Amino acid sequence: MNNLAIVNLVPDTPYNRIMSFLDQYQENTRKSYLKYYKIMFMYMTGKTLEQLTYQDIKSINDIKVEQFRNHLKTQYANTSINQIIFACKALYDRFRERRIVEINDFDISPLTEKENKYGSLTSKEMENLYNYCLKQDYKPMTLKLYFEFLYTVTCRKSAAQNLTWDNINRELDIESGQMVWVITFMDKGKEIKKAIQDDFYNRLKENYTKEKEYTGKIFNIHNHTIDKVLKGFCQEYGISEKRNITQHSIKSSGLDIIQNITGDINITASAAQHKNIQTTYARYLNKNKQYTLQPSYFLGKEFTIDTLRELDKDTLLKLIERAGKETIIKLNLELEKLK
């Protein structure tokens, strides 16, 4: 008699389908989406995820979705509501693919999110900010690395302040064949991946160990402390309150640099996590108010390389240094192409 292998099949229930759907996401995303689904289904059906039936899944319609979103308005800001609805839409996209439902009633226009007007810092001002952080009595290096993170990764403060070591993993860059450190975080319900330099990762790890942090959070520092330091920096360096420098300004500053270096609005939009490229145009282009530096002015003037050929080495290096970080990065990138 042949021995027959007994296969334990996972029961086909809504709960198991939801958990299987969540397996594709990183841990933080998985936890957030699971929380959203518990809230949504309890409001819609009065049941826990484990109690759901397929009839419950099908019973959700456009009227219930609108009622649910109106309910969320009493507890959350529009940004958070859009994230919750986006997560539910993603789940019901899967249900629709599997023909469990015919229509995805969560596929609705997002709520308008309040646009805050904030300024940005130049690359020189960012260097001054780093130096200012290092003069602080409380966690000076943590502060510096935090602002450096917002600037280079161009993410929101919520993502940075909730970042743990589980969010950073070693991954293969297929194009170059190199292994790089990749940070994964959520932005408006979407999973974002950003690479960082090995040196930056090592400095983050070294500081974490030195500060004897055991919370798992990379930047274990209160939001109020960060805002206080940023305000003190602006006061010490005479930066007007009218410029409205906030933590989000640091992300904006990084995006300014990206646009200046690449000259590609699509790259800037991708770095900013903007779904609508018009948002990028509105926020990160046309910021220049100095008339003589506007393209409409300087493109009409004749510039040639002959002027630079006449300079000695030291003068040329000083000129490049004065031109700023963007120019130095551009030249180094071009140098790498020549190798």
Give the residue ranges of DSSP H helices in 135-175.
Answer: 140-153, 157-161
- Per the DSSP assignment, residues forming a β-bridge with 186 are 191
Strands 178-187 and 190-196: antiparallel
Which one, of 149, 116, 142, 113, lies nearest residue 253 by Cα?
Answer: 149
pLDDT in tens, the chain (339 residues): 445 444 457 789 999 999 999 998 888 788 989 999 999 999 999 999 999 999 999 999 999 999 999 999 888 888 889 889 999 999 999 999 999 999 999 999 888 866 557 788 888 898 999 999 999 999 999 999 999 999 888 888 888 888 899 999 998 888 778 898 888 888 766 788 888 888 999 999 999 999 887 788 899 889 899 999 999 999 999 999 888 888 888 877 766 666 665 555 565 556 555 555 555 555 555 454 444 444 444 444 556 777 778 888 888 888 888 777 767 877 887 787 776
As a whole number of angstroms, the distance between CA 59 and CA 44 comes to 9
Both tokens assigned to 243: 């410029």
pLDDT at position 106, please? 95
> What is the total residue count of the chain?
339
As a whole number of angstroms, the distance between CA 91 and CA 18 comes to 7
Rg over CA atoms, the chain:
25
pLDDT at position 232, please? 95
Handedness of CA 4, 5, 7, 8 (dihedral sign): positive
pLDDT at position 280, please? 54
pLDDT at position 279, please? 55
Three-state SS at 171: strand
Element housing 177 (H / E) = none
As a whole number of angstroms, the distance between CA 117 and CA 249 comes to 9
Name the residue with tokens 């009839």.
55
Please list, in sequence order, all residues whose beta carbon lies within 8 angstroms of the beta carbon of residue 136, skipping any fewer than 6 positions away. Answer: 143, 229
Name the residue with tokens 């690395």.
145
296 by Cβ neighbours in 10 Å (0-12 / 13-18 / 19+) ranks as exposed
Integer CA distances (angstroms), 255 to 122, 151, 193, 327, in order: 11, 8, 16, 15
